[in-house]
């Protein structure tokens, strides 16, 4: 029993050092923490990893069941940004909120910039727009509605990461949010630009600069989504539903740019 307790302590120690659940730690790492070989470890466990997991659970520790560190860190970072703003996002704060070690975050994301890029991918409309561009709808109206649905979902979801990024850009034009958006802009231009260029080539849209077309298309809706919480509080039931508002913006855009 004492031998098994030593293995439990070694497994927990290795898990903490790696920022992982016990169930995620390789047996080689647990063996190294216990000062024995992997084959010796397996012999002491009667050849079954389950023996160790059961002993860890009996010691009052959950050996697994949590999301991987990467997922926990992205979710923790999103909550911090949404609740406190981008300025509160430090790797120390994320490590504490995600219950992992600082070295593990550096290993997984290669630093704060890598973490911010992963958070942006998770909570921005970039991936949805890229998916839409990969299989574009037949009609321009469906394209606009698809882009608007992605924007509405992005700006309306919790945690409110995108509104926080825009707030940071307005408050600190040279701050980190600007860098994030600058890095993401080429992807957005490529995704949306592919959709709009297709419509221009088929003669359905006026041949205007893509960057200006994108601004004309998403600018009113983005501003509306940023201001909507304030408008809902001040105007109340007189404010049209989001879907109706989006339909108005889409119709106005199409009137302005269709041939």
Tokens of 138: 């037949």
| pLDDT(224) > 90 | yes
Tokens of 99: 């219950």
Instruction: Let me know whether 252 and 185 are in one domain.
Output: yes
The confidence score (pLDDT) of residue 90 equals 92
Q: Is there a domain that residue 19 lies in?
A: yes
The rounded mean pLDDT for the chain is 87
Q: Is there a domain that residue 114 lies in?
A: no
Distance CA 111, CA 124 (A): 20
Instruction: Let me know whether 146 and 247 are in one domain.
Output: yes
Confidence category of residue 219, pLDDT binned at 50, 70, 90: very high
Domain range for 101: 69-109
Instruction: Let me know whether 158 and 42 are in one domain.
Output: no
Q: Is there a domain that residue 118 lies in?
A: no
Instruction: Let me know whether 79 and 19 are in one domain.
Output: no
The confidence score (pLDDT) of residue 137 equals 85
Kindly give the residue spans of alpha helices, DSSP state H, lying in 124-175.
126-134, 140-156, 161-171
User: For the chain, what is the radius of gyration of the CA atoms?
Assistant: 25
Distance CA 2, CA 10 (A): 12
Total number of domains constituting the chain: 3
Question: 130 with 187: CB under 8 angstroms?
Answer: yes
Nearest Cα neighbor of 226 from 144, 139, 166 is 166
Instruction: Let me know whether 104 and 134 are in one domain.
Output: no
CATH number at residue 101: 1.10.10.60
Instruction: Let me know whether 49 and 103 are in one domain.
Output: no
Instruction: Let me know whether 159 and 210 are in one domain.
Output: yes
Nearest Cα neighbor of 102 from 67, 62, 69 is 69
- For range 130-157, the mean pLDDT: 88
Task: List residues bridging with 205 in a β-sheet.
Answer: 258
Q: Is there a domain that residue 37 lies in?
A: yes
Instruction: Let me know whether 200 and 237 are in one domain.
Output: yes
Span 65-78, pLDDT tens digits: 566 788 889 999 99
- For range 199-212, the mean pLDDT: 90
Instruction: Let me know whether 140 and 223 are in one domain.
Output: yes
Q: Is there a domain that residue 116 lies in?
A: no
Strand, helix or coil at 205?
strand
The confidence score (pLDDT) of residue 4 equals 83
pTM: 0.68
Distance CA 7, CA 52 (A): 8
Instruction: Let me know whether 141 and 44 are in one domain.
Output: no
CATH number at residue 232: 1.10.357
Preceding omega of 159 cis (within 30 degrees of 0): yes
Residue found by looking up tokens 């992992």 in the block: 100
Instruction: Let me know whether 190 and 78 are in one domain.
Output: no
The confidence score (pLDDT) of residue 121 equals 86
Secondary structure percentages of the chain, helix, strand, coil, to 5? 75, 0, 20
Instruction: Let me know whether 170 and 74 are in one domain.
Output: no
Q: Is there a domain that residue 43 lies in?
A: yes
The confidence score (pLDDT) of residue 209 equals 93
Q: Is there a domain that residue 64 lies in?
A: no
The confidence score (pLDDT) of residue 65 equals 56
């Amino acid at each position: 029993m004492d031998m098994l307790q030593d293995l439990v302590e070694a497994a927990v120690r290795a898990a903490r050092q790696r920022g992982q659940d016990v169930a995620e730690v390789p047996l080689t790492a647990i063996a190294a923490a216990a000062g024995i070989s992997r084959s010796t470890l397996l012999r002491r466990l009667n050849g079954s990893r389950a023996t160790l997991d059961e002993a860890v659970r009996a010691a009052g520790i959950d050996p697994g069941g949590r999301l991987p560190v990467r997922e926990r860190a992205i979710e923790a970072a999103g909550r911090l940004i949404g609740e406190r703003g981008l300025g509160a996002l430090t790797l120390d704060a994320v490590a504490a909120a995600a219950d992992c070690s600082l070295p593990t975050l550096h290993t997984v994301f290669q630093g704060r910039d890598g973490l911010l890029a992963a958070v942006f991918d998770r909570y921005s409309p970039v991936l949805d727009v890229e998916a839409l561009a990969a299989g574009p709808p037949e009609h321009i109206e469906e394209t606009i509605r698809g882009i608007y649905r992605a924007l509405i979902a992005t700006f309306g979801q919790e945690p409110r990461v995108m509104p926080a990024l825009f707030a940071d850009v307005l408050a600190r034009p040279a701050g980190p949010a600007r860098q994030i958006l600058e890095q993401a802009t080429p992807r957005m231009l490529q995704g949306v630009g592919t959709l709009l260029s297709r419509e221009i080539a088929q003669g359905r849209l006026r041949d205007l600069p893509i960057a200006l077309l994108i601004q004309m298309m998403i600018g009113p809706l983005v501003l509306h989504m940023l201001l909507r919480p304030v408008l809902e509080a001040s105007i109340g039931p007189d404010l049209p539903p989001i879907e109706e508002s989006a339909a108005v913006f889409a119709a106005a855009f199409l009137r302005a740019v269709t041939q």
